[in-house]
Every structure is written in structure tokens, then in C-alpha cells.
Structure 1
Amino acid sequence: MDFKIVYGDSEIEIEQKLKDFEKNQFYATLAFVFLADKTISADFLKPFTERKITIFGSCAAEVILNQEKSRHAVVAMLLNIPETAFQLIVFQTEKQSSFIGQQIAQAAQNSYEHSSVLLLIASLDLQYSPEGVLQGISEINSRLKVFGGIPSSFGLVENPPFITAEGFIESGVCALILNQDVLTLDGLSVSGWQELGTPKKITRSSGRKVYEIENIPATEFYARYFGFNDTGTGIIKNHIDPDLLSASEYPLMLQRQDGSFVMRVAVQMDFEEKSVFFGGDIPQGAMVKFCSPNTIETIQHSLKDMIQFRNIESEKPDAILMFNCAVRSRSLGNFMNTELKAIHQIWQTPIVGFSSWGEIGNSLNASCGFHNTVISVVALRDRTTSNRKMYEDKTKTSLQDFSLQAPESSLTLSELQKEVTQLRRDKKVLTHFLRLTNNDLEIEEARSSRLLLNILPAETATRLKAGETNIAQHVESASVLFADLTGFTSFSAQTDPDSLVKMLNEIFTAFDDFVIGTGVEKIKTIGDAYMLAAGVPNPFPEHADICVDLGRQMIQFIHDFSKRKKLSLNLRVGINSGEVTAGVIGKHKFSYDLWGDTVNMAQRMEASAVPGSIQITTSTFKLLTDKSDFTSREIDVKGIGQTTAYILPFSSFL
């Protein structure tokens, strides 16, 4: 089997090159044909159709030839593969996309023992879902190798078609089934886009159509972030509308069920129903983030993955098919050719492809999926010959081998003027977008700070945010309070979980309200127990008095709460004063806690207290300003023995 590359700007050029091939006894049976949207014409197909060559091709916003986006009207890869080794099927039915996928997978199983599939999906009025097709394929054969793309145009062709020997088809699914024992396909899709801003929740969606983001109509949400006029009418498409095309460079990133991440580009807006249609499905409830390319880092990411993929096998492919996202090409600008040049250097083999509106393939360590913003390569290897081409050294190719510099521009004056206009529009969109995302980050930072202050003292939170990792403090004199509900165990045994949690939340929220503004720190809750400390991290002399006062308020609240709810609940409170050590533990889930004998004794004071009373140690009693209502008693403390405690009964509250 041989592979030949043909390109040109007229039917005559293509015809002549095919004749030259035939003089050398090369007669193609299959052609991958990509036509630039600016010159799309059936005339270019005649040299292929007159020879009865099967065509698998697409309209293209840009055509790719080896190491660059080509200016030629057509590029094609020709194969003289046995006609029994492939089968082309076109679906133009009203059936669901998943049903079409099932038919493709079934046909592949029936055709060859080992199959692979190349797909082109043209979706007039967004009729066909690429993910639906892939789902149907997976239901029949989840191990089937599938690669492909979506026909594209930068505004010159409203409904970009795929191409067969029958002509241009604006709506349908084209499947090329190949015998893997004759022609092996292996592929990789890489993105490199980086997340921006804060997570957003998709609050209402269906398939690829999103109606609400963060409970805001989707069109209004996009208008807000990208400076659109949200009073538009009808439907706009990103390959026609320049503003939506600019916004497409900032896709939404979401996580798939297999853990991998995919990008979703906004392809259409419907101002009547206030919806945004994306390149792929976005489930309702999904958390998404806007993403953007950082040109050099994006290219480095793609090259790193590409090198790793190439080095998996030392066998050199005979050719590469490429499906490169048109949004990626537009975002990288002149650097797109830099990336293509490096990829061509990695593979050292002919490359033919086009810039597409969506790519089908798999990223490293992930299953096949539908992507936006990726560059997808499909390595073709002839299995009919024993003459294997090998890379000499799998390890010699690394990122350091590439100079990632933008090539010199070769644009015409009119092309430069068009690019300047687009750059001005992009700058306006980017400026507006960054202002909003920075505002989001500030809001998120404030929210995170508030959450941090709910679990950490203000001083400790400040130290943590400043980067300190080992936060500890020794305090000579502080008071620790434990409070525990009595009667709760029997109550919980006959109460449903929702009601139980609701009740505890009501009680502990009231306790939190008592604490606010006192300088006291709530430390934690453990089941039906509540712990706080006064005088730490910021010391103050009246810490014992404040703890007793808070204990009174807590017991009074439980008394009133239990009476109002007709419950048999009560509260024991124990307090001890002395030196403590405080600090933050945990790396991913922070916890502020106290350690020392003072803490242990406070807990024992609570455990041995009479329900409805406050029991304190001698050290706390000595610090009190008002000791009049306390009475002393001897108690047996575990691990210590007989000791004097002071008790404040509920009767003294009245």
C-alpha cells in the first residue's frame, strides 16, 4: 500500500498530479479530501470521481499540509488500499444520533474482525449530536477505535458540508469503516487550555443546549461576561457572528465520568429562548469553568503529550490525519504554524488535515470522546507490508528540541486589515471578560475568607493565608467550655435523621449567635457536644467570667427550647481554666484545636456535671468576679481522684 499527497488550486492541477501518479502505476482507491471554504467547488471532485475513487472529505475553514496551514484550495491524501479493506456509509435519516451510532458499530463488527472508524458529522440546524453517535457506538462496542471531526467554515459557508463522491452533504453522518488488519489507526487528542475564574453551575440544560447558568438565562450570562448586546433577536452562529466567535475562544471546561476534562465551545445563541448551544453535551448540574489558551504553555502541553504518545510505539506511521480545532487555530494565530511545524518534526511523516468545529478522539489515558479546542492526530500504519519504518531513538525527541517562535507573517494587506479588525474586537471581548472574571475571583476570595473565619480565628486565618504551614500557640491562661445535651440519645433513637440534624442545627446556631462578638472562639462540635474557648488566640483577663455567662445562656436556651418543643432535653456545662496549646492541623481540611490538661479537665467537668448546671474547677472559680451563686462539692475525677468542683445550678438562673 502506498500513500500519496496531492494539493492545488484548480481542477487542472489535481488532474495532472493524478495522471503523474498513474504513470508510476499508482492507482488510488481512497482519498481523504479537504476543501478550503473560500474556494469550495464540485469541480475539485471530478478528478477523483471520474476515477471512481472513494472520497472521505470535508469543507474546511483551513486546510493543513505537513507543517502549516496551507493556502491551497484543496489538499488530499490518496491510498491504494484494497477496496475490500474499507467501507463508506452515509446516514441521512431522522433517526436519533445514538441509533446511527449503533448502526455504525454493528456495520463495523459485521465487516471485519478488527475495525476502526473515521467519522465526519455535518449537522444542519444542529440535528445530529456527536456525543449521541459515540454513545450508540459504545453501546455496541466500547473498544472500537473512533476518530473524526466536524466540517467547518469561518463565515463563508453557513452550513459546512462533508464530502463524498456523491457531492456535498450539509446534514448527515459519514462513517469510513477500515480493516485494522490492513490499515491500523491510532490517535491522540490534546488541548492545553487553562481554566480561568471561578466555577459556575449549569442550572438548566438539555443535551448541548444550556438555558441557565447560575440561574441566569444563558444568553444574558454570556452577554454579561463578553460584552454582548443581550437584546438581540433570532439565532446567531459562531462561525458567522464575529463577537460569538471571539467568545468561543473561552470555552467551558467540564469533567467527564471517566475523570478526564473536555472543553465545550459556544456555537450558537438563541435570543428568543435565551439559550446557548454548545459543541457538546453539558449536563444539568455540572460545574464548569471558563478556559483560555496561554499560547506557549498550550503548545508545550500538546507537544509533551504528543511526544509521549509517539514514544509508546517505535514504529513510524506512514501518514498522519489531523483534525485541528478551528477555535484553537484562531486563538493561537500565527503560532498555530509553530505548533504544526513542531508536530511534523515529532512524527517525521506526511500530514494532511483540516481545522474542524469539533474533534472525535481520545486523550492520554482517557476513553474516546467529543472535544473542542483540541488538536487531534490519527496515525495510519500499513499492515500489508513487512517493511516496518522505525524511529531510530524513542528518547531523542523532547520539548527542548523545539524553538517555539512565531513565524514571520506572510499576510496580504487586506488580510492584515481584517486581522487588525478582529484583534480589536478580541481585545474588547478579552478586557470585558477579564474584568468580570477578576471580579468573580474577588467575590470568591471574600467568600472563602468568610468560610475560613467560620472554622479559624481571624488571626490564625490571616497567618494561614499568608502561607504559614505550622501554626501553633501557647497561652498561659484561657478558659475552655464543654456543653453536652442530655436526653439526646433516647430522643435520636426515635427521630428520623433529617429532623435530628435540623434540631441540632437550630440549637448550635443559637449557641453560635451567643458567641459572636464576645471574643470567644467556637472550637468544634462533636455529635451533640459543643466546645468553645475564651482567651485564645487573643488573651483577655475576663475569659472565665465570659465562659460562665455563655454557659448560663446555653442552659437557659435549652430549657426554653425543650419546653417549647415538649422534649426532655437538658444541658451539662463544664469549664476549666489554665494553660493551653492551640494550633491548626490538616492540609486539605483545616481544623483549629486545643490540647493540654486544661482541655481534658474541662471535658471531665462537663461529664460529671448535674444536668441543667455549670460545673467548674477551682482554677476557674478563682478567676471569677462573681462567685456568690456557686457551691463547692467533692467529685471523683477519672485519672485524678477526689477533687473540689464548684457547681452553679439552674435554680440560680431564675
Structure 2
Amino acid sequence: MNPSCEESKPNLVSREASLQAFFNLSPDLLCIRGSDGFFKELNSVWISTLGWTLDELRSRPWLDFVHPDDVAFTFDVERQCQTEGANYTPIQLKNRYRCRDGSYRWLSWRLSAYENGLSYGIAQDVSQSNWRGSGTYRTEVQETVKLRDQALTASSVGIVIADTRLPDMPLIYVNPAFEQITGYSATEVLGYNCRFLQGTKTSQPAVAELRDAIKAGKHCTVTLLNYRKDGTPFWNELTISPIHDDDDNLTHFVGIQADISDRIKAEQALRLEKNKSERLLLNILPKPIVEQLKRFEGSLAQQYTEATILFADLVDFTPLCAQMPPLELLNLLNQIFSVFDQLAEKHGVEKIKTIGDAYMVAGGLPVPIDNHAEAIAQMALDMQQAIHQFKTQQGESFQIRIGINTGPVVAGVIGIKKFSYDLWGDAVNVASRMESYGIPGRIQVTAATKERLQDKYLFEERGAISVKGKGKMITYWLVGKK
């Protein structure tokens, strides 16, 4: 081993220690910056001037400490320092640097160009010379600026500033809340347009609204589907406000961002539940009545000068109840009445209710229609055909009795609990009698109904029958369509 090499090692260590000691003797802020954007060496004056520890200053890109309003021209100076080749003329810079307590100090820099990946810098604290006026005013302004900067840092909403004077309107400031919301650090986004948050969702209507507002230099608030750095989506409520200089030229946009994903989810869940409730209500009441209920507009009872009412009853259903288990019986009824419901929807008539094995439907209400009698007649004929697909335990087809009448009715909802849409009036009672005084497999109608249908449908006269409460009535059997 070469003894001279052994002797050179302590000499080198001693020389580096001496240089570091000399480095720390300077009253100015000395630093060595790497081309990766981080400080490599700092003297102790930085601690007393800004309050940060040296480890804290070295742990973040040095541009993270620059005041938002100074980032743009600081970038320009940094690009000069990145110029290849030795440049022995110091590069001048003056900007504001953030202190640990949230305030800012003015620093005047002399920087060398990067050589071998390193740039050397000397900075002086010139804060006092950058304030004008009396000491009291200066102190008040300093405190105001300090409070403003602390508020920006402490804000729970994301705050960004974009420079409209630069191409593509890059971000020059983002606060810690923005970093937390998006997952991006300031170093990763400064100098870029914030559209990267949109991912591939650039065709949202809100994006077009935002672009129009930016183009017009106007304030606006939009809700955007954005994406964090890890790819997870979030709903961003963004408010942008323009900033103008003394000559009324647009210079910046300030953006306030809030992650409202929880609110959007809650609203979507609320809409889903509301839709479920409305669908349930529409299964109980006609749509016009539901709309009237929601508006609380007057009485829910309405007079109709003419409607056609149908009652249908399953023949010999009572004995069947004693032969079948209750759940099996209920399932059978559900199948039959579900087919009838489909027919009611097909013919545009209103199902009123079921009572045991009886089914009630009406045409011409709650929305009046001219062909209500025809719609009910056609439904009755279809019900006759549909019931044949259902068989008893003995394999026999079910039969139904159907009665129809036409006349004036009152329809609506009464009471304050367990709403039910129903009909009242003599025409309703007579329709019920037409069913109960009918015979299995036939459709009995009154003269009033026959009169409205005789041009299109075939009838057989049954003759006069005694009807409770009405005496003798001439009735007819509906046979089919002409």
C-alpha cells in the first residue's frame, strides 16, 4: 500500500471540515443545488433566517419554498442556470422564500450555472429593503401577508393559482390541501395545466362550461369527475375566479377545489331512494294523483261526468280456498292478477283495486279519454281469454264473471293514512251488480255501456233482471268485436 495515499485521507477530511467551517462563517445564505431540484449543501444561516432545519430544506425541492407569485419567473431563471457549458457570470434573482411559520422573506440571489450537475448560490435576506413606509405600516403588512400565507397553507380546500400570461396557463402554486386531495406533490404539477386531473373524461359538459369561462375571463363553479394520482376517481367542485392587474389585464386564475365525493354519493343514494319511493307510490296510486299529492293542491277527489267501470270475479274460488294451502293460493292469485295488470296497462285503463278474488278496473280516469268504454270492453274480452291459461287442481280452466257499467263517478283519495285510490257513485254500484248478477264465462253490461259500443261490438240481449236497489234493468251480454 502506498503510504502517501494513507496520509492523503486525513488531509482530505481535514480540508472538507475546514471548508464546511468556512461555509458556516458566512453571514449570507450559502447553498449548493443539484440539477435534480434539491439542495445538496446549506450553511446554518438558513436556519436562523427561515426557521427550517437543514434536513427539512434538503428533503423537498427548493422551488417548493418559493412564493406562488414568484414561481413563474423563478422557473425562467432556473432554465438559465440549466444552460449547458460553464457560465462565469452570476445569474441574478430576487424572490420570496417561505419560512417555517408560514411567512415569507425576500431573498436576493446570485446563482451559478449548473456544471457537473451542481449550481452554487449566495442569497441575502433583503426583506426590510422591500418594504416601504413607516415601521408600523411595515409590521402590519408583514403580519397581514403572514396571516394570508398561513391561511392558504391551513385551508382544508385545495387552492391553485394558474398564470394566464404563460402558454397553456400552467399552475404556479398549489397548497397542501390540493396535494392531499389529488395525491400529487407540488413538484409534480407546478408548470403544468391542471387538465391532467380529468384523465380521459375530457368530454364532460362541465369541462366545456369551464373552458368557456376561462376564455371569457369569468368566474364560474363546476363539478368535475377527476382522478387522483393513484387513478381513483373523485368528484371535484371547482370554483375559478379571475385576477386582473392595474390595467385590467387578466393575469391569473385562482381555483378553489373541494372533494365532494361523499356528498355526490349521498345525493345519488337519496335520488335512488326517492325513485324507489316514487315507484312504490305509483304502484299504489295513479300518476296524476301522485303529482297532486306532491304539490298539495286542494282536494284529491274529482267528479267525472262519464267513466266505464269493470268488476271481475273468479268463479267457485271460495271452495278452492279450502283445498289449497294459503301460500299456494296466494301465488295463484298473484299470477292471475299480474296478467290482468298487464292487460290494464296495454289498454290504457286504471286498475283500482282487488278485493279477495275480485278485480276492479276503470276507463276514463284519472285522465279522461273518449274511448273509455271501448278500452274496458276490449280488456274484458282479453280477460276471458287469459283466464283459460290457469287450471284448477282437477285440470279444469278457471272462469270469471265480468260486469260493466258506464256513468258519472267521483274518484280520489280519502283519509290521511294508507292511501288508496277509489271510486264512488251509483255507476260503480251498478257495475258491481252486473258482475254479481252475471253468469260464469259471460260479460254482462248495462244499456248505457251497450249504447256506446253497439257500433263496434256484438251483443246479445239478456232481458230484464231484478237488480238490488235498482229494480228491473235491461242488460246485455258482450259477445265480441264486430
TM-score normalised according to structure 1 size: 0.34
Highest relative contact order (Cα 8 Å, sep 6+), 1 or 2?
Answer: 1
TM-score normalised according to structure 2 size: 0.46
Greater helix share, structure number: 2
